Structure 1
Amino acid sequence: MENGATKTFFKLFSELEDCKEEEQKVKIEEINGVIDGMDKREFISIFTKEQFDKMYKMIEENKMSMENAILMLKHIGYLKELKFISNLSFERSLLSKRFEEMIADGNEKKYTKNEKLLADLWECHLLNKCNVTSNETLNTYIRRLLKIASNKEGKEEIRKEVEMALLALSNVKFYRILKKLYLEEISEIIQHHQKHRNLTQLAYQSAWGFLMNRFDNENSLGDAIVNELHFAREAARELEELSKGVDWKRGKETKEEFILLRWFRTLDSFFYLCKLWNEEFAGLIESIVRVLRTAKDSYGEISKKCAFSLRRAADSTGVKIEDLLKGGAVGVVLEEIQQSTIDHKTAYDCLNFFYFISWRMEEKGYDKMKEAKRKITKRELFEKMEEEGYEDTIASFYGLLRFLNKKYVDKLPTKISVYFMYD
């Protein structure tokens, strides 16, 4: 059964054929406003292959201009990426094939006089589908979109164009790209923002997302990310700022909420991949802890993301155990695991958090810290856990593991002793 937003969308969309181009543009902006209010299920049910094929047919019959189709499609892709909507219908559509043909023609100089159209086509393509036809095409995307993203003008229209270009780039995930094609430009974009605050919050997160996606294939990026661009410091500040804009009572969804969730995805990659350390890490852990304490009683999804990030941090060779202690991670995970309403996934992450810490503090753990330092840190951990009644909590909780979801229990060590920190 259609709800109000769905009915309104199809009503407005059916009226597009009878509009002149400028009137059609106004109506599409109205439609985009309707799309903003859709939930994920409704969004996916509307934007099917058939719907994109209808747009293609309207373009072919001169009932919709390409510019107006792009106006709607860019907004669809923007929301798809912002709200983590998996929607692969576009890439199977006739409209997608038409875009690919136009992009190929553009690369062959057919559209060199219309750079704006080409940039819009590239953004639509990257935002609405994940695969790219060739490395040559991808390299063209990256160079041109980085050029747009490097615009430092403060006008609102320019800031929006920069945001869209960086959001599109952040969707380039699984491709190995030569550093010479992007590192200097993306570093300059990030550093300029650190001095002048010229980017939107989404644009800044997207710039880091694009760079972190490259980290998976390029370990040498570590020094630039950690020490030159100061990822830990910047991520900590962004988490703090964005959490102020989240409606923790869940009256409505906010843009800050989705950007915050995007930061946690980037954090997970960072902790998984980074092998370097600097003194800013404890501050980042502290910010994650603050968000977790704010979210845990009212917003489960962000709470789960925090617990997972702390688990990743505990397993990271780039994060010191002292950072976890100083940042408050040990205390907050102890609090979390004692919650009577803890869910299976969070329980799994909390148990692994302590398992990783315990294993790393053993003499053969991969921290390889000096013996005197290791003993001091181990004593601090032991006292913290003893103070919070950790062993009793784990012992009682561990007895209930067989009632947890099997897919998590099967991945946990079976000996209870591995979760304990002995003095």
Structure 2
Amino acid sequence: MLISMMRETDSTKKFMELFSELEYCIEDDQKQKIEEMNTLMNEMDKEEFKFIFSVELFNKIEEMIEEKKVTLENVILLLSCTGYWMELKDIWCYPFKYSLLNKRLEKMIIDENEKKKEEKNKMLLTDLCKFFVLWNHDDVPDEFLSITVPCLLSAASDKEDSKEAKKEVEIALLALSYIFNNDIDKELYLEEIKEIIQYHQEHRNLTTLAYQSAWQFLINRFWKDKSLEEVITNELHFAREATRELEDLSKSVDWKKKEEERVNKTKEVLILIRWLEFDKDYFPYCHSWNEELSGLISRIVQVLRASRDNCKEISRQCINSLREAADKRVVKIDYLLKEGIIVLFFDEIKQSTLDDDILWNCLFFFLNISRRLKEEEDEKEEEEEKTAKRKVFEMMEEEGYEDCVECFNENFHFFEQ
């Protein structure tokens, strides 16, 4: 309903004009128009994307392929561009799944993969896999994983230093990062993704987005395979790398710029948000405490302090990540006190402009703290931890939150809904 009610904008109108002209152009002119469409997509917001990309549009592309009014190469270029921007801007476009184009794409991948090795067009198969995964998001059928994952990892392993090669690697890794819940045998990916990450750590050959995407693909596997913690934490040093990336990205953000002035987020802001989102997903599965993890949490606190006045989306993601971190017993209460995180959450919850989502996560943060402060009495505690607990209780009482948190504990089922 929301999509159908949206009015056409100058950007969507111009995009559709260019699209309608594609079938009447020669191949080179098609490429030029697609480049213009790519520029427009960079400037579009979520609702504009959703307004454009419908089942009807995808079916029209399939018809143009069937009637040879557009080359397959240019269709791949168009859908790679659109998939790239939609993933980067976190836009979910479900109509593709139900389109004739998706059915054609599935068949093309299977047919190409079944060809003999000497007849197989590896470049074509890789391109087909890229935008098949990009457009299907986290709903890639299991039967396609044995084709798409090795193909995309192979493309992502390209170490050529040209701008074009880096872009292809970036898109391949971005596609991989959106394979979420599927079970994938470690033999299908682990050594390859480790090599990609380690090579970048030594040579810095990947773009910022490509490197983040490589890590996200690996963390997505961590959810179901806890044995990966040794590789992620001690071999590849996730926390150290995430800390450095957040620090570098933070330097590119104009923190004084008001929220309403950020009509379109910069690519750096979008990638920073992606890092924070999947840091949040990492914390629930982390069971090892070290100085690198301490540094990551400290960096998230710094980003929160910088963003809290003028960049609500970044601030929200920081709060979400810290809420998850506070739930883990490896993150000691005395550490939360030393970093000023508890005081920072007190300050956040006092703000009159707090939105419901931020308030919800702040309350959950205190719920986690309260639960951890009241752990079983027969547990052996260090004196330092006991002192920290007493200090937190005093702070919560001073702020008037202790009774409130007790109420939250009694009604915990409400927050789980």
State TM-score, norm by structure 2. 0.89
State the match for 2:344 in structure 1.
332
Please show how residues 17-416 of structure 1 align to structure 2 within 5 Å.
17-109=23-115, 112-130=119-137, 131-135=139-143, 137-248=144-255, 249=257, 250-251=261-262, 252-364=264-376, 370-379=381-390, 381=392, 386=395, 390-395=396-401, 398=404, 410-411=414-415
Query: One-letter code of the match for 1:42?
Result: E
Aligned length: 400
The answer to whether the Cα contact below 8 Å between 1:9 and 1:34 also exists between their aligned partners in 2 is yes
Q: Deviations over 1:110-162 (max 9, x none)?
A: 68442111101001100001323343x21221112111111222211111111
- In the alignment, the residues of structure 1 paired with residue 15 and residue 377 of structure 2 have an alpha-carbon distance, to the nearest angstrom, of 58
- In the alignment, the residues of structure 1 paired with residue 402 and residue 340 of structure 2 have an alpha-carbon distance, to the nearest angstrom, of 23
Query: One-letter code of the match for 1:168?
Result: A
More deviation, 116-125/29-38: 29-38
Query: One-letter code of the match for 1:391?
Result: E
More deviation, 179-188/108-117: 108-117
- In the alignment, the residues of structure 1 paired with residue 196 and residue 380 of structure 2 have an alpha-carbon distance, to the nearest angstrom, of 37
- In the alignment, the residues of structure 2 paired with residue 261 and residue 296 of structure 1 have an alpha-carbon distance, to the nearest angstrom, of 14
- In the alignment, the residues of structure 2 paired with residue 364 and residue 64 of structure 1 have an alpha-carbon distance, to the nearest angstrom, of 68
- In the alignment, the residues of structure 2 paired with residue 173 and residue 395 of structure 1 have an alpha-carbon distance, to the nearest angstrom, of 38
CA drift at 1:304 = 1.1
Q: Deviations over 1:371-391 (max 9, x none)?
A: 324224335546xx64xxx43
- In the alignment, the residues of structure 2 paired with residue 344 and residue 58 of structure 1 have an alpha-carbon distance, to the nearest angstrom, of 46
Query: One-letter code of the match for 2:333?
Result: I
Q: 1:315 to 1:395 in 2, by over 3 A?
A: closer
State TM-score, norm by structure 1. 0.88
- In the alignment, the residues of structure 1 paired with residue 36 and residue 274 of structure 2 have an alpha-carbon distance, to the nearest angstrom, of 27
Query: One-letter code of the match for 2:343?
Result: G
Query: Which runs of structure 1 show a deviation greater than 6 angstroms over 4 or more consecutive aligned residues?
Result: none
Query: One-letter code of the match for 1:109?
Result: K
SS for the counterpart of 1:15 is helix
The answer to whether the Cα contact below 8 Å between 2:50 and 2:93 also exists between their aligned partners in 1 is yes
- In the alignment, the residues of structure 2 paired with residue 357 and residue 88 of structure 1 have an alpha-carbon distance, to the nearest angstrom, of 39
Structure 1 gap segments, 5+ residues each: 413-423
CA drift at 1:241 = 1.5
Query: One-letter code of the match for 2:269?
Result: E
The answer to whether the Cα contact below 8 Å between 1:283 and 1:327 also exists between their aligned partners in 2 is no
What fraction of aligned residue pairs are identical, expressed as a percent?
Answer: 50
SS for the counterpart of 1:89 is helix
State the match for 1:416 in structure 2.
none
CA drift at 1:323 = 3.5
Q: Deviations over 1:359-413 (max 9, x none)?
A: 32335189x563324224335546xx64xxx4343349949x99xxxx999329x
Q: 1:323 to 1:197 in 2, by over 3 A?
A: farther
